């Protein structure tokens, strides 16, 4: 499928404006069940790496060898002396924006961090060949861009079903971006989704930021091993789920009747509790459903309040077997 060739182009603000605000569980249930995207599921999926960070310990590359390497990479003398900065790596007529930082601990040189943005294999291999020493894969951002004739409906579906297994305790919230956990503070992996503008088109982008403990645990130690990672491997912690609305409503009434049996005048306190649950659900839905399970368990007690959504299989089918680079 060609990417939205017959589409009237919009700004990113207009795309986000087309995503409805869901005020309660009934609206939510109707939206994820009757989402127009589900009628055709016609889309294109592209995988890529947004950046790759490599770390080289000082025992493998001392400070003098580090400066020599940076000069080979055409880093300016100013930035080499400063110890960090942006530079470009030029390979076969292509230019790749990059960043380096010398790491010091208690004024002792500890190692070198090199970060390459939107890399291909040639530029990464070029840098490693210049290194001619050991290195670690420190952090990588894996991206999947979904192109559809209705980006708003597709992103709306992702926003309201996407969760991350074992997200950790702290969540981050930001207008426009759906965070699946706190990407910065997570130990092994963080996730997010947002509408991405590229040229004159838009995609629903989902990202995984994988950190050193993930690569260490999965014994991914070389670029060749990184190149062989497929979408189903890196997105295995994604789970597309929907709220079990009937269960939530039933449990909310049960908890309300048990904990708030009093009547003040002609007003049942229990009714206010059920309303409070719906308000909490509505507020959480503004940022997606990634944190919904925790919110519902906090209000209603232990229970299974989420169940798989059919888009989970669609997503896995789109990314399975595909490589990022």
pLDDT surpasses 70 at 172? no
**Residues 220, 203 contacting (CB under 8 angstroms):** no
User: Mean pLDDT across the stretch 293-302?
Assistant: 89
Worst-scoring range by mean pLDDT, 136-140, 158-162, 170-174, 176-180? 170-174
Distance CA 287, CA 302 (A): 22
Distance CA 279, CA 25 (A): 10
Predicted local confidence at residue 3, as pLDDT: 39
pLDDT surpasses 80 at 269? no
Taking only the tens place, the pLDDT of each residue in 53-103 is 999 999 999 999 999 999 999 999 999 999 999 999 999 899 999 999 999
H or E segment and range at residue 278: helix 269-285
Residue 316 binned pLDDT confidence (cut-offs 50, 70, 90): very high
Percent of residues, the chain, with pLDDT higher than 90: 55
Predicted local confidence at residue 118, as pLDDT: 97
pLDDT surpasses 60 at 206? yes
Of 309 and 267, the one with more pLDDT: 309
3-state secondary structure (DSSP) of residue 204: strand
Predicted local confidence at residue 7, as pLDDT: 40
Mean pLDDT of the chain: 87
Taking only the tens place, the pLDDT of each residue in 225-258 is 999 999 999 999 999 999 998 998 889 888 888 8
Predicted local confidence at residue 271, as pLDDT: 78
In terms of average pLDDT, the best of 1-5, 67-71, 178-182 is 67-71
Q: How far is CA 25 from CA 137, 194, 258, 289, 292, in A?
A: 43, 23, 22, 12, 12
H or E segment and range at residue 288: none
pLDDT surpasses 80 at 5? no
Predicted local confidence at residue 77, as pLDDT: 95
Contacts of 32 (CB under 8 A, 6+ apart): 157, 160, 161, 242, 309
Distance CA 197, CA 147 (A): 11
Residue 18, both tokens:
């087309």
Predicted local confidence at residue 175, as pLDDT: 66
3-state secondary structure (DSSP) of residue 170: coil
Taking only the tens place, the pLDDT of each residue in 142-166 is 999 999 888 888 898 999 999 999 8
Contacts of 237 (CB under 8 A, 6+ apart): 164, 165, 166, 189, 191, 208
pLDDT surpasses 60 at 47? yes
């Amino acid at each position: 499928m060609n990417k939205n060739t017959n589409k009237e182009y919009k700004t990113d603000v207009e795309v986000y404006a087309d995503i409805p605000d869901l005020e309660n569980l009934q609206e939510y249930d109707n939206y994820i069940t009757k989402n127009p995207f589900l009628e055709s599921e016609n889309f294109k999926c592209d995988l890529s790496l947004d950046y790759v960070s490599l770390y080289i310990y000082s025992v493998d590359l001392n400070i003098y060898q580090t400066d020599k390497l940076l000069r080979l990479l055409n880093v300016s003398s100013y930035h080499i002396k400063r110890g960090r900065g942006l530079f470009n790596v030029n390979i076969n007529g292509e230019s790749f924006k990059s960043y380096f930082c010398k790491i010091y601990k208690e004024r002792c040189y500890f190692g070198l961090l090199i970060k390459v943005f939107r890399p291909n294999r040639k530029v990464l291999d070029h840098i490693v060949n210049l290194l001619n020493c050991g290195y670690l894969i420190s952090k990588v951002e894996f991206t999947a861009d979904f192109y559809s004739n209705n980006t708003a409906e597709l992103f709306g579906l992702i926003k309201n079903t996407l969760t991350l297994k074992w997200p950790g305790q702290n969540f981050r919230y930001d207008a426009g971006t759906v965070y699946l956990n706190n990407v910065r503070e997570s130990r092994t992996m963080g996730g997010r989704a947002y509408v991405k503008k590229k040229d004159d088109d838009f995609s629903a982008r989902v990202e995984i930021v994988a950190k050193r403990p993930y690569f260490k645990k999965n014994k991914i130690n070389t670029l060749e091993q990184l190149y062989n990672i497929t979408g189903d491997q890196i997105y295995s912690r994604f789970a597309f789920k929907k709220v079990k609305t009937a269960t939530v409503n039933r449990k909310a009434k049960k908890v309300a009747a048990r904990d708030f049996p009093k009547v003040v005048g002609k007003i049942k306190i229990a009714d206010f509790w059920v309303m409070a649950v719906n308000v909490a659900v509505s507020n959480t839905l503004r940022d997606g459903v990634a944190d919904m399970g925790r919110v519902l368990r906090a209000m209603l007690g232990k229970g299974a309040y989420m169940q798989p959504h059919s888009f989970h299989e669609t997503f896995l089918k789109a990314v399975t077997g595909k490589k990022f680079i």
